[in-house]
Amino acid sequence: MANTFGELFRVTTFGESHGGAVGVVIDGCPAGHKIDLEYIQKQLDRRRPGQSHLASPRGELDQVECLSGLVDGISLGTPITLIVRNQDAKKDHYSDLQDVYRPSHADYTTDAKYGVKAPSGGGRASARETIGRVAASAVAEIVLQQLIPGFKVVAYVDRVKDVQGRTDYGETLTRDKVEEHPLRCPDEATRDAMEKLIIHAKKTGDSVGGTIFCGISQCPVGLGEPVFDKLEADLAKGMMSLPASKGFEVGMGFASTYLYGSEHNDAFVNREGKIRTESNRSGGIQGGISNGEFIYMRVAFKPVATIFKEQQTVDREGKELVMKPKAGRHDPCVLPRAVPMVEAMALLCVMDHVLRQLPFAHLRGPHHV
């Protein structure tokens, strides 16, 4: 299931960055939901490169087209297929790199695995593959928001290199607030410093990384399976499957390891007749199952591998050489565009676990979802 994510809300992406189209088949979308293609397009636009001076100037239009699964905008319960044509496929753009393995890219490993080197710009390793994920996640988001009052997923740029923003927004933060600035960091106090770092990296032909914070509000209690398919395990897999991600943590994550258990445990309280936790260091998941509190996590993205400096490498024949810097069109920092990608994986993960929990919740009588 190399190109499929999910058990019941099954998302299969396809397409190379320089082939005919990229896209996704969604198998398992419930019937009868109004699916707004404009909303899907809006999410794709957030993912698209070249949205601001901070990013690559590529003019990809990424126009979504629906091939199946909807009639008059209503889901049929059959596979929904969404594609985006590759408008801007210029193979020759990269042609002199054809036989060179770019450092810390997927060129060498892809070649070693398949024996076929995809045209440069990346085959399936290209960030363009995430178009299918974001399109599918917009469908998931529409359905989830129809099913669960108050449900929302909001991610934002948390840290760029060593510039850390505020992180105490909790469930109050809205996506509109995040979208106010092209950096997708809602912290007005630090985002100028972040921006400077990115512009500096761009000018020097270098790149920077950082972390994305993602929160899920009003997630129903009872999602996630107690053993391998813990909710945080599936979230971890989803996030670590994004290009350039190198780390994941949920709740207090790595910081929790510096506390005593007595400092970390979340006391249970009865708040207006509901069982809640007083603190939320667990991050809304206990024993792999959602407990109804705010779910939050962080994902680490490395500085992207494409830089415009001389680099030591080898070609397909194993000959060592020095790659010369040259003009190109890549983002010095993937973080702002990674925000909708991180939201996408959170949405796909929750949607799948909602469907997985439904038959059992249904049979129990009092429904949790």
**Positions in 28-87 near its own copies (CB under 8 A):** 28, 30-32, 65-71, 74-81, 83
What is the smallest separation between the CB atom of 250 and its own copies, expressed in angstroms? Answer: 6
Nearer to its own copies, 168 or 258 (CB): 258
Q: DSSP letters along 39-77, please?
A: HHHHHHHHHSS-SSTTS--------EEEEESEETTEE-S
Q: Which of 114, 43, 11 is nearest to 337 (CA)?
A: 43
Where residue 245 falls (left for φ over 0; alpha for ψ -120 to 50; beta otherwise) is beta
What is the smallest separation between the CB atom of 209 and its own copies, expressed in angstroms? Answer: 4
Nearer to its own copies, 215 or 251 (CB): 251
> What are the backbone angles phi and psi of residue 325, rounded to the nearest 5°?
-65, 145
- Determine, following the binding rule CB under 8 A, whether residue 336 of this chain makes contact with its own copies: no
Contacts (CB under 8 A) with its own copies, residues 101-160: 101, 103-110, 112-116, 118-119, 123-125, 129, 147, 159
Binding residue count for its own copies, defined by CB under 8 A:
160
What is the smallest separation between the CB atom of 174 and its own copies, expressed in angstroms? Answer: 26
What is the smallest separation between the CB atom of 270 and its own copies, expressed in angstroms? Answer: 5
Contacts (CB under 8 A) with its own copies, residues 168-227: 201, 206-211, 221-222, 224-227
- Write b or e for each residue in 250-289: b if 16 or more Cβ atoms lie within 10 A of its Cβ, otherwise e: bbbbeebeeeeeeebebeeeeeeeeebbeebebbbbbebb
What is the smallest separation between the CB atom of 238 and its own copies, expressed in angstroms? Answer: 8
**By CB neighbour count within 10 A (0-12 exposed, 13-18 middle, 19+ buried), where does 326 fall?**
exposed
Contacts (CB under 8 A) with its own copies, residues 249-288: 249-254, 256-270, 273-275, 277-278, 281-283, 285-288
- Say which amino acid occupies 75: S
